Amino acid sequence: MKVAVFGLGHVGSVAAGCLASQGHRVVGFDTDPAKVEAINSGRSPIVEPGLDALIARAVTAGQLYAQADVSTQLDDCDIAMVCVGTPSAEDGAHDLHQIVEVSRSIAGAITPNRGHKLTIAYRSTVRPGTCEDVILPIYRECLGEAANDLVELVHHPEFLREAQAVDDFLDPPRIVIGTLDGAPSQTCAALYEGYSAPIFHVGIREAEMTKFMDNAWHATKVTFANEIGRLCETLGVSARQMHAMFIADTRLNTGPSYLRPGAPFGGSCLPKDVRALRQVGRETGADVRLVDALLDSNEAHKRHQLERATAGLEPGAHVLLVGLAFKRGTDDLRESPQVDLARSLVERGFRVDIFDPYVEPGRLLGQNLRYVEAHLPGFAGMMVDKPVAEARPYARVLAGNKLVEQLDIDRSKVVALCTIP
């Protein structure tokens, strides 16, 4: 099939590379010329293990290319996959600006004589009702009575973990495809022929809701584990042993993911989706007190980590922060707890160096770059390479993740923020 991918960030780049690797013809669209140039040069616009090689092979084979304007590229496409961002608006709800813009672009590029329906699959996280109340009216406005004959609207959420996104795309835990009437989308399902994952054909609102449920649950697990970890630390109890005993019970408790006390949650999904779900609860009158408390508890954990990081340090001390991205192996700095920590350290007057070999300031693009420039101005000047990180006499080394294991340093100076002992 020929697939158009709109938005070449983390979700879109992975989708484009993986689909092209499976023999589909893929054209990517993005308004950022740097992302388009990266794809057409055979490079990934983002740092994600294995993606550079997939994209390079696909471009060389003629299976993948990118451009900024849609023009007539949709005429022979079977699927348009929308992967643009839905960041937080001022009130906490999802900002649908990019969704609206790309929907209008797609609608304007659909020609009435295309011969078969274009399946438009939205992967972006949106609140239930968005496809029916916001997106569908755009196509009906632009295409008139022909909309039902030209467009099949689908919500198709992604379940990708950064730093493992390629594996997750090629071997997903499940596949969810939501349509307006709940009937199977044969075109969307055909993308996954040969996959072993179960496919759920559901109504479009159920598909929209499932990512909210997932991310709220992940945030709940992180928050619960960190609160128990702080209690253990206060009471002189081993949080590590508590974690081992807790996850051993797979009958009544659950699997181990996100349940180890350590870093606060962050990244491009959990914070914004929890905020959006909280806003939905307030608007609808639902009493979602657990969801309401998640962000407050996460901020409390950030303050706790800052106090652990700075306890006993002399004013103006020189510290090394290991790990800036919210997850090791990526360059995603959006809502990274380490970015918040670095900013707080600078505000308290400490001298801060940062070691994270996956974060290359000159390679950062789009919202990722804008976020870190707004929240940690001058961060590029704080970045140091491995020889410098190992040579300088830091008063303390703050291990935001296991990148610290790559450094030959005085371990007595290390405070591990990624785990609670």
Provide the sign of the torsion angle of the four alpha carbons 61, 66, 72, 77, taken in this order. Answer: positive
Rounded Cα distance between 264 and 242, Å, is: 18
3-state helix, strand, coil in the chain (%, to 5): 45, 15, 40
Torsion angle defined by CA atoms of residues 68, 74, 80 and 83, in that order, rounded to the nearest 10 degrees = 10
Is 92 within 8 Å of 52 (Cβ atoms)?
no
Is 309 within 8 Å of 398 (Cβ atoms)?
yes
Rounded Cα distance between 384 and 382, Å, is: 6
Identify the three-state secondary structure at position 55: helix
* Marked catalytic residue, from 83, 131, 188, 269: 269
Tokens of 299: 């901020």
Rounded Cα distance between 7 and 372, Å, is: 20
Catalytic-residue membership of 269: yes
Rounded Cα distance between 166 and 12, Å, is: 11
CA distances, 100 to each of 75, 89, 97, 124, 130 (Å) = 21, 14, 5, 12, 10
- List active site positions: 269
